């Protein structure tokens, strides 16, 4: 498949965004912000690279971009979880508002 001829996005910037965003997600640091940016990144990737080839993701090869977009949207809504660095960095009053396990 030939590369897209004048893509308006800088591929180096996209690579750096995905690398840093996924590292932040793996560490659980700034989880919601990183996941929101990465979901947008995957949506742009799908609409720029895959949707011109057809409407359905299974026919245009964009199924992974759609799956990653929805996984990142889930992380944006759910947050980092119990073992994230966001939880350790939060003040004590914020942890009192969250439900505790008894």
> Using one digit for the tens of pLDDT, what is the confidence trace for 6-46?
456 677 788 899 999 999 999 999 999 999 999 999 999 89
What CA–CA distance (Å, rounded) separates 24 from 34?
Answer: 7
Percentage above 70 pLDDT, the chain: 80
How many CB atoms lie under 10 A from the CB of residue 92?
A: 6
Give the pLDDT band (50/70/90) at residue 88.
confident
Over 80: is that where the pLDDT of 92 sits?
A: no
Q: What is the pTM of this model?
A: 0.76
């Amino acid at each position: 498949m030939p590369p897209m001829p004048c893509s308006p996005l800088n591929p180096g910037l996209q690579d750096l965004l995905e690398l840093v965003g996924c590292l932040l997600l793996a560490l659980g640091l700034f989880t919601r912000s990183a996941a929101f940016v990465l979901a947008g990144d995957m949506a742009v990737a799908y609409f720029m690279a895959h949707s011109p080839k057809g409407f359905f993701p299974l026919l245009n090869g964009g199924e992974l971009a759609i799956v990653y977009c929805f996984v990142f949207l889930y992380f944006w809504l759910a947050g980092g979880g119990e073992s994230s660095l966001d939880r350790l960095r939060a003040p004590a009053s914020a942890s009192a508002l969250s439900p505790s396990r008894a």
